[in-house]
């Protein structure tokens, strides 16, 4: 779960003994160390990586404990490394636990002078707990942070039942857990699919509540913003959207944050619904983001591939088993060496006078000792290196006690190395201990609330438009424009030379204007989108896809519940509901089928119960 720069940083800090119990040291000191010994890149890239590990709003479980200015959620920069200090956290210590006990492989550093670990022992599930994001050559990865307590519970479940499915694991892992909180709005099905395949995404929203004020007024308070959104830029974005009139329901935004986030959003008017206002803000701004999941990782054979949640946990558990066996074998070798030395010491105590004589009188005491008491080279050397004060009476008791204790430990470890069942029992104990340490308390508490897939709140598009009266004017040659206010029918209007008025309707900017053409098609235009100002407007054919042969028969404002009679020049027609004339696309909607050579000629509102038709000086009335 770490990039090389992070691993090298932690290892260099470990070498400098910067443990959680130790004091802080200047960042410049170990950044220089990392650059000189392990990571031949620029100091700024190393320091940036260090800073991110220390920022509580960037890392779910910080690996570095920083002292000084390490930047903030507004996007301000940290202080230079000569001013800041750091040390490792408990989590980082868990990642490094056992690194001196041959738990992992080492390789030579770039200059061949030092050794560095290939991976860390990782007693903490860092890959999923802290997440990772990055772009390599030809591939990328994006893993959100998760709750360590949930991951460890799932890992225990997976050890106890290796056949557990992703759905079983998702009973424990509820979803990502971002350091900045927020609300996850994703359906359970989408979550399950993402974790099964290792690809998907999570919609994340800011957390808000309504605050009632006096006289029926209210405002919205935002207390958590989505992960990796800089608060300063977010405020700028909201201000820009308000200036562009893209958030018509929002009156004002203020940032009243201290170290706790508090954004105040005031509505344009108190009659607005808070949920509707927030829906418009979520749709337009970074208060709602989507965090992609692309669980692309290097497996144990250093092969990049996309894993599901189960595979990733399985890979970590298998690594823990390898670490456990390697540490046990390392400890067994150390015990065997110590027991060999103790056996030699005990021989000394049984034949003390003879040993002293040999050491005093023999030319080559080492060889003589080895020959007399059948000692190994190591035992003879240890006896000769022994201090005189170790020959006191009590020492023999101590040695026998130590011998007994080590023999018992050796027996236990030999049984562990031979039995897979015992290994997995030991791993479960480790997992439980890690969960007790990091899964509870303020650090372990889940921060991101798991919401549900949101019910679609129908946002009335008209809410985005300021309502004001306009007059829509259409000329004979098909030029359309809108002017402010409701003009009288006999108002003096100017047109291009040779053009004249075709129709004029009074509307509001929130209305839809319907045009019915000679081809039998209807078109709908948003009143606020019509060209405004003193000019001649725009040709209708630029706003909708109408051919040059077609002309507009009727133009009117759409009203719910009104019925219309449409007819063509061959006398065919019918009554149609106004809603049927609303076309969503520029291409319009074919309402009346017109035979070739004929065209639509009537579109009129229907009231009453009879139709009167005149032709050739005759009148016909029918129901």
Catalytic residues: 83
| Residues sharing a CB contact under 8 Å with residue 505, sequence separation 6 or more, in sequence order | 471, 472, 513, 555, 556, 557
- Length in residues, the chain: 623
For 121-159, give the secondary structure using H, E and C: CCCCCHHHHHCEEEECCCCEEEECCCCHHHHHHHHHHHH
Phi-psi region of 216 (alpha: psi -120 to 50; beta: other; left: phi over 0): left
- How many CB atoms lie under 10 A from the CB of residue 506? 15
E strands in 309-398: none
Instruction: Identify the residue whose tokens are 């006999």.
Output: 490
| Residues sharing a CB contact under 8 Å with residue 298, sequence separation 6 or more, in sequence order | 304
Instruction: Decide: 155 and 316 in contact? Cβ < 8 Å.
Output: yes
CA angle 409, 413, 417 (to 5 degrees): 175
3-class DSSP state of 473? strand
Helix (H) or strand (E) holding 175: none
Closest by CA to 198, choosing from 299, 266, 102, 115, is: 299
Instruction: Decide: 114 and 40 in contact? Cβ < 8 Å.
Output: no
Instruction: Decide: 130 and 61 in contact? Cβ < 8 Å.
Output: yes
The pair phi, psi for residue 450, each rounded to 5°, is -90, 105
Closest by CA to 28, choosing from 46, 41, 14, 5, is: 46
Instruction: Decide: 265 and 222 in contact? Cβ < 8 Å.
Output: yes
| Residues sharing a CB contact under 8 Å with residue 78, sequence separation 6 or more, in sequence order | 51, 68, 69, 70, 71, 84
In which order are the strands placed within the sheet that holds 512-517?
A: 552-557, 512-517, 521-526, 589-590
Distance CA 327, CA 335 (A): 12
Distance CA 90, CA 65 (A): 9
| Residues sharing a CB contact under 8 Å with residue 351, sequence separation 6 or more, in sequence order | 373
515: tokens are 């045009």
DSSP state of 430: H
Distance CA 152, CA 320 (A): 13
- How many CB atoms lie under 10 A from the CB of residue 119? 18
Q: Within 13 Å of residue 499, how many CA atoms lie on the same side as its CB?
A: 19
Distance CA 93, CA 111 (A): 27
Closest by CA to 599, choosing from 622, 570, 561, 566, is: 570
202: tokens are 């999570």
337: tokens are 């060496």
Distance CA 621, CA 623 (A): 7
Distance CA 168, CA 241 (A): 44
């Amino acid at each position: 779960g770490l990039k090389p720069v992070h691993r090298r940083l932690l290892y260099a800090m470990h070498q400098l003994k910067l443990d959680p119990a130790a004091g802080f040291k200047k960042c410049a000191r170990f950044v220089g160390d990392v650059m000189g010994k392990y990571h031949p890149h620029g100091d700024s890239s190393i320091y940036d990586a260090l800073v991110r590990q220390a920022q509580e709003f960037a890392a779910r479980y910080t690996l570095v404990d920083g002292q000084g200015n390490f930047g903030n959620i507004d996007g301000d920069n940290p202080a230079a490394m000569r001013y800041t200090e750091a040390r490792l956290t408990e989590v980082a210590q868990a990642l490094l636990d056992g690194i001196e006990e041959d738990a992992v492989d080492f390789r030579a550093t770039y200059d061949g002078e030092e050794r560095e670990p290939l991976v860390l022992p990782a007693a903490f599930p860092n890959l999923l707990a802290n997440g990772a994001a990055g772009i390599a050559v030809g591939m990328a990865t994006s893993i959100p942070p998760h709750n360590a307590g949930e991951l460890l519970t799932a890992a225990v479940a997976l050890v106890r039942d290796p056949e557990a499915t992703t759905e079983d694991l998702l009973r424990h892992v509820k979803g990502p857990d971002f350091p900045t909180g927020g609300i996850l709005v994703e359906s359970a099905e989408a979550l399950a699919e993402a974790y099964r395949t290792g690809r998907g995404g999570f919609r994340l929203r800011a957390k808000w509540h309504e605050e009632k004020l006096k006289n029926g007024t209210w405002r919205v308070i935002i207390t958590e913003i989505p992960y990796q959104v800089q608060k300063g830029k977010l405020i700028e974005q909201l201000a820009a959207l308000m200036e562009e009139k893209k958030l018509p329901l929002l009156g004002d935004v203020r940032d009243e944050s201290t170290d706790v986030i508090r954004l105040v959003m005031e509505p344009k008017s108190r009659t607005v619904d808070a949920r509707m206002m927030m829906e418009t803000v979520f749709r337009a701004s970074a208060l709602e983001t989507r965090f992609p999941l692309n669980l692309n990782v290097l497996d144990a054979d250093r092969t990049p591939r996309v894993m599901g949640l189960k595979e990733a946990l399985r890979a970590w558990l298998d690594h823990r088993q390898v670490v456990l066996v390697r540490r046990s074998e390392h400890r067994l070798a150390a015990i065997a060496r110590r027991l060999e030395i103790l056996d030699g010491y005990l021989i000394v105590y049984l034949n003390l006078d003879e040993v002293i004589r040999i050491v005093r009188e023999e030319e080559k005491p080492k060889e003589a000792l080895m020959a007399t008491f059948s000692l190994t080279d190591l035992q003879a050397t240890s006896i000769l290196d022994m201090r005189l004060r170790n020959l006191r009476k009590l020492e023999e008791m101590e040695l026998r006690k130590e011998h007994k204790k080590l023999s018992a430990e050796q027996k236990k470890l030999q049984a562990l190395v031979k039995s897979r069942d015992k290994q997995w029992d030991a791993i479960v104990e480790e997992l439980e201990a890690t969960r007790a340490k990091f899964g509870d308390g303020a650090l372990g508490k889940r921060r991101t609330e798991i919401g549900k897939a949101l019910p679609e709140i129908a946002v009335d598009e008209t809410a985005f438009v300021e309502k004001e009266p306009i007059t829509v004017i259409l000329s004979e040659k098909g030029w359309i424009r809108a002017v402010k206010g409701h003009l009288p029918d006999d108002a003096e209007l100017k047109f291009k030379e040779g053009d004249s008025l075709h129709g004029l309707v009074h509307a509001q900017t929130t209305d839809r204007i319907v045009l019915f053409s000679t081809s039998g098609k209807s078109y709908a235009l948003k009143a606020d989108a019509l060209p405004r100002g003193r000019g001649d407007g725009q040709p209708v054919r630029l706003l909708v896809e109408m051919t040059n042969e077609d002309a507009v028969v009727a133009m009117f404002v759409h009203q719910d519940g009104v019925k219309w009679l449409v007819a063509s020049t061959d006398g065919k027609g019918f009554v149609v509901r106004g809603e049927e004339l609303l076309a969503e696309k520029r291409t319009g909607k074919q309402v009346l089928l017109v035979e070739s050579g004929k065209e639509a000629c009537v579109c009129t509102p229907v009231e009453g119960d009879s139709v009167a038709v005149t032709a050739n000086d005759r009148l016909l009335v029918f129901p």
